[in-house]
Amino acid sequence: MFRQTKRRTAGRRNFEEVSTFAESSKAVYPSRLSFYDLPPLEEITLEEFESWAIDRLKILIEIESCLARSKPLKDIETVVKPLLLKFLPLNPSPSSGSDAQIIAERKKDYYSHYTLRLVFCRTEELRKKFLKNETTLFKIRYNMLQPKEQLEFAKLYSDKLMWEYISNEEKIEIMDSLVAASGPVIRTILSIENSGDANFSLTSEQLRQHIRHKESFIKLPFEKVPNLVSLRQVFLRRGYAYIPSTLQVNLLSVVFSELLSQALLRTFQAIPRLEEDDRLLPLLNNLSRNFASIQYDSFGDPEKASDITASSVTTPQISKHYPLCASHLQNSLVANSHLKYNGRQQLGLFLKGIGLNVDEAMKFWSFQFTKSSKMNMDSFNKEYKYNVRHTYGLEGGRINYKPWDCATILLKPKPQKGEYHGCPYRDLPLELLVDTLGQMGIQDQHDINGIVEDVNKNDYTVACTRVFEITHKQQLQGKNENLHINHPNLYFDRSRQLERNDAKAVGVAK
């Protein structure tokens, strides 16, 4: 897809020249957190350009999904931290020894951010999404820093922040006032942070000690923090507001967001120049196609296929794990003994993905099509046998087709009269959708309003994820295993996995 040979272009350094620069690049990444205020200068390969951006995108998709479901920052942190460790780790600088690994981590973080700026600068809507998700990521990462690193970070950007830290003497002098003004909000935040610890409690003296030793206060002209002043969360003296570390993340995120917003507009204005580069544009277009374009890809697990047969797929034991698109298709097939082309493809590939092998698929489709007197076996063999075998890569070009993800389903033409493919959150009339949700056991008006709101915002996968969470509420309790549904087979696999976990917990073999 892309030119792999090195190309000499006027004004650009080439790969051979990079090594000398890379050795000194530590100076470019002095902190593991960044405002990304300097554009990257080194060259990277096209594979790195794409794969680093995809890794970052995986994290932003989770954040997007959590924000759409109004998760508090603490819950988002629980979901995102393991992903950060896996896809974008950022370790502190070692006190001594080699820091090659640290430089590599920071470089990936830096470049992936800049690649996604190119991807998401093109429309107002994409810019807003990127800004919101990156700012949340910034807050999560700031909270992961050690207090010493937080101080260093503020010093690093002192020209942008213009923060003045108070001295230890001043802190001791006004300690009572600081505790009285900011103590309650610090206590609340610490309680939320330690909500997993049933024994957590803080006496007044412990709170005072925490403020004394762990909180670094800055003072700013009070008009710069009107929200904190109106909420009475900060001590005011001689025109200055005294802000503890616990509340500084909000100030930093405002600065981060403002800088990024300006940078995205500048990037957008520079985009036409990129059109000269025939390697990058297809890649950027591909990445921006959809925030949910990362495919779920864990098909072919033999364990999950053991009980998937022509007769079992229509039983409640199996079909209760289907997402709405699959159950809508299968119910229509059972009721009408027929499905049109797009419906057969969508359901056929979904069933293949959950483990229905080609022999069982043939039994399933032939039984469903011939069970009424509308069609006999000869006609089925003539008209549809090839189609089923083709789905499994046994005819024609012998391509092993994968089940469609939500993005693919949403890109297909909408179903016409007598067709049932597509995504029901997009395609069903709202009244019918609400009825269907009721049949799935979703009766709570607050839940229904949330789903309808997602649908009205065209956030169909968010609606589907919300339905998954509501219908699996008990199994998900205390697990914090939030994930965004972007594939019907992911919905199915997660649902079955949760059931298996439950069964293991009570010692019942499923």
Binding-site members for [4Fe-4S] cluster are 325, 406, 423, 464
* Count of H-run helices and E-run strands, the chain: 27, 4
In angstroms, the CA 269 to CA 264 distance is 9
- The token pair at 488 is 């019907």
Site string for ligand SF4, 440-479 (x = CB under 6 A): --------------------xx--x---------------
Q: How far is the CB of 510 from ligand SF4 (least distance, A)?
A: 23
313 in Cβ contact with 361 (< 8 Å): no
464 in Cβ contact with 458 (< 8 Å): no
249 in Cβ contact with 149 (< 8 Å): no
Asked if 325 interacts with ligand SF4 (CB under 6 A), we say yes
304 in Cβ contact with 493 (< 8 Å): yes
Cβ proximity to ligand SF4, 290 vs 357, nearer residue: 290
Cβ proximity to ligand SF4, 211 vs 485, nearer residue: 485
Using CB under 6 A, which of 103, 211, 488, 494 touches ligand SF4?
488
**Closest-CA residue to 7 (of 41, 39, 49, 46):** 46
Cβ proximity to ligand SF4, 211 vs 349, nearer residue: 349
Asked if 409 interacts with ligand SF4 (CB under 6 A), we say yes
DSSP single-letter state for residue 194 = T
- The token pair at 331 is 């119910």
Q: DSSP 3-state helix, strand, coil percentages of the chain (rounded to 5)? A: 65, 5, 35
| Centroid of chain to Cα 449 | 23
Asked if 324 interacts with ligand SF4 (CB under 6 A), we say yes
CA angle 468–472–475, rounded 5-degree value: 145
Asked if 406 interacts with ligand SF4 (CB under 6 A), we say yes
Using CB under 6 A, which of 425, 437, 451, 494 touches ligand SF4?
425
Q: How far is the CB of 251 from ligand SF4 (least distance, A)?
A: 38
Cβ proximity to ligand SF4, 264 vs 451, nearer residue: 451
Phi, psi of 500 (to 5 degrees): -60, -45
Asked if 323 interacts with ligand SF4 (CB under 6 A), we say yes
Using CB under 6 A, which of 347, 423, 428, 433 touches ligand SF4?
423
Q: How far is the CB of 129 from ligand SF4 (least distance, A)?
A: 18
Amino acid at 123: T
Asked if 348 interacts with ligand SF4 (CB under 6 A), we say no
Q: How far is the CB of 458 from ligand SF4 (least distance, A)?
A: 11
Binding site for ligand SF4 (CB under 6 A): 323-325, 406, 409, 423-425, 460-461, 464, 485, 488, 491
